[in-house]
Structure 1
Amino acid sequence: MKLPLPVSCNGAGAKSAELVLISAVADAYHAQLLAQEQLLLAQQTLADWEHSLLLARQLRAAEQSSGLDVAQAEGQVASAEADLQARLRVLALSNNALQLLIGKHYLKVYQNIQC
């Protein structure tokens, strides 16, 4: 026994479903690109703060700054590390969303696209 489909598979219903899927894939793809760029920025920010911490420690060792400067730099590094972890989670979620929509790993799809 055939069950009726919830969406009409002819004409306007099929076209509408196709457009919704295309839109969802495009949104997921853009979310993934944004997550990748934000991850790169978070990595660069962490590297910058780690360098600042190194400089603050060197200045403290040379008695050119206070322990407060080192503590502030350590706090900035910890904050940047937390942000990096958050960006990694967002990227993983966006990768999973895209994979669910296209039905296979997105890198395999990219490799098959010829421009």
Structure 2
Amino acid sequence: MFKLKLLSISTIFILAGCVSLAPEYQRPAAPVPQQFSLSRNSLTPAVNGYQDTGWRNFFVDPQVTRLITEALNNNRDLRMAALKVEEARAQFNVTDADRYPQLNASSGITYSGGLKGDKPTTQEYDAGLELSYELDFFGKLKNMSDADRQNYFASEEARRDVHILLVSNVSQSYFSQQLAYEQLRIARETLKNYQQSYAFVEQQLVTGSTNVLALEQARGQIESTRAEIAKREGDLAQANNALQLVLGTYRALPSEKGMKGG
């Protein structure tokens, strides 16, 4: 009888050991959305995901965040987005370091340069930017076979890469556009100053307090500045075209306001 009770108690403990008292496991929600809108090559997730976090912390200029958001919304197809960025980079001539600023790990963009014959003018654009991610995106695509490229564009890696590519390209295009706008504004202001100086020298020539050479020098400054304005207008038009291309829209951009005359 004692052995039977001992066996029953042992059986109870064995069965109890098979019962888990831990809470039922529930799989945590994945940080990446499970579904994306439109096609497999869609850039915009159906719900808020990685696109809504991260890059907004780098930019303090609300205009930049609006343009980046617009670009992400307008470039939903990964292949088309990559082609637009590549074409914009070709138009933009990003290797021209003398004309375009560079994005790096610093907190802003600094450009030094001026009109010919004048002291350099420094313009600083503080963007609160600390993004230092560089992606050899096009080099990677070039080395892929057609099948590998197709699989890549259907992957989460491609969504992340194109997303970063768009954010970087829109921000740099915007700051370069603002730089071109500011250079054009300075050139036009300089022309007004030279025209006033020419009128003053002309009056001096009438009174005999200067000579013809001084007047010709003043006229040369005006002509040189007019040529500089034409060049800056071309730079601004090129910057606007590149930014509009990557944005996926051809509406008027902020810098175009008030820049028709001059």
Normalising TM by the smaller chain, what interval? 0.7 to 0.9
Q: Which has the higher contact order (CA 8 A, sep 6+)?
A: 1
What is aligned with 1:24? 169
Identity of aligned residues (%): 30
- Counterpart of 1:64, as a letter, is S
Whichever structure has more helix as a proportion of its residues is 1
Determine if contact 2:198/2:218 at 8 Å carries over to the other structure: yes
Which one has the largest radius of gyration?
2
> Alpha carbon RMSD of aligned pairs, Å?
1.9
Pairing 1:72–2:226 present: no
Separation (CA, whole Å) in 1 of partners of 2:231 and 2:170: 23
Give, in angstroms, the shift of residue 6 of structure 1.
7.0
Match of 1:97 among 220, 239, 242: 242
Aligned partners of 1:98 and 1:106 also within 8 Å? no
Task: Give the conservation status (yes or no) of the 8 Å contact 1:95–1:106.
Answer: no
List structure 1 runs of 4+ shifted beyond 6 angstroms: none
- 1:12 maps to 157
Normalized per residue, the structure richer in strand is: 2
Structure 2: gaps of 5 or more residues: 1-145, 255-262
Aligned residue for 1:34? 179
2:200 corresponding residue in structure 1: 55
Residue 44 (structure 1) aligned to one of 189, 202, 205 = 189
> What's the TM-score, normalizing by structure 2?
0.39
> How many residues are paired up?
107
Indicate how the Cα distance of structure 1 residues 108 and 38 shifts in structure 2: closer, same or farther if over 3 A, else same: closer
